[in-house]
Chain A
């Protein structure tokens, strides 16, 4: 199996059977290196497995978009982001030979399309921490020598929190833990709308299509709103309508333009449909 060629072409569509075969191959190579106590090779195969998993998870995000499982996609985006930060610590990319830099950039772009603004942030004290490799206690002055984030015989060193003390929760707008979105837990418990993601899916053909967004304000006509002068302005400013957008050409609203680097089949179809309507 030419694993190098496979990893350099993540944009190539593969069946589930092919993906399973690749995963089985990577696992077998890793286990073989571990059995031979060959740490450099074990670490190499572990890293390649991490890269392949990040690529496949990125494709899964779009599958979740297709099935409108947006919150699940959001959580998966965060897991890929964390995994790729770990990959960056382990490997210096020459260019973007495995498209990992591309995926990292586009994770950020996709996250910006979500409507989530408010998150729960847990606060806890790490009381007893152990090394994930040797299970020794980790204290400030006594260490086992294993470094968090490094690979040892194909296994990444993490610090396992054996005992913690929950202190509280905060409501934040810029969270460390992105999964903790207020107001959604699953597809069936989701009051948000995802118009930007829906639009993106209507114009791209493939997860590796290149696109940018441009955000700016537009004025929506006053006639589209039934708001009284003394009611809160529809723009969301909390001011009265008469003191806010009523004095402007329209209701000031966020607008996003999607700019494709290259036209896609879907975008061409959309343009034709618009032309035909006119």
Chain B
């Protein structure tokens, strides 16, 4: 058994440091949400592009599946802070991430392109330095751009830092010895370090217009503190505990926004790169397949004003739509030739109780099952989602196709591919057409060598990269 807490308190430095850090983070999660934002309306949403004072805070919680949030119907009270964002903003109820592996998924999220077009499918692939990324667009538009992150798969050498003035991955602060990780692989510290850094960013840039991207990892690592040890000791319980912990950290960050009077001019974009499996289809974790449990993610927009009632968009949407939507909201130029599209029309339609014709477009998720084993040939698996169906298809093993009727079988447990061969055929045609899409404007993905230090960082978060 191992335990790192010293008997003598002096081991962690003088008491003033601990007290200060507790003050920075806030001693406890706020029980009453302080929200000084005015009431707003759809018109205010549409008028945001004319404002020149709105900051953008992009919160990405790694490995967060939508159905473990109260806002998405979960029975446990894992996420009061996030739920409040959704209750007073726009929630996208049918969001699909483009992969179950962070690097592939985030490449699509940032570029607005599906994995088949980004080409970032294996461990040594990187986003091209010629890609035009949202942070670059925002930097050009005068935003101060910064990122604070903790997942080695989005390291700068994979092309993710483009456009960020500072792309920072903080080391752990030694005082934080009260978090416990349930999952294997250890990275030092916790998202508390990230939130503390973000709080200082807010202090330093309160008067600027900024774009801040936070990539949180404690849900990925199943880290939580004693106060969030609420839901039991099972693996799935630990996952819920970690969501509660991260939710409490976000609560403190939003309090900081409130305290600095920034909440009224900040657009909060909340999303996840992929979900997590707990045996629904025989597997656990993520980055192994593209079933619903690993690709159904949250997407919430919280504006500088409250929307009451909130807006729920039930039409299908994808992470490739995220940045076209946000850029549209703040009135900036578009991404280059994206597959995704702005969801502003869908927001409008949902607010008015209408349905868009484009709601029928399929969404895709993709993974190369050998992404970490470069000696092996690629083995892609692709999921296509329509309103009723999800087909999980392996081009090199078409007889392993799995078709699920999402309406009749919401848990997607019954593979009816043999009963519905025409549906399968039609969806396979969709996939084939999807895979024939042209390369992005900047050409193919870059390839880089992963050095030993980065390899260790990746292994520390549980990835067996070869």
Partners in one complex: no
**Residue positions of A touching B, CB distance < 8 A:** none
Chain B residues within 8 Å of A, Cβ to Cβ: none
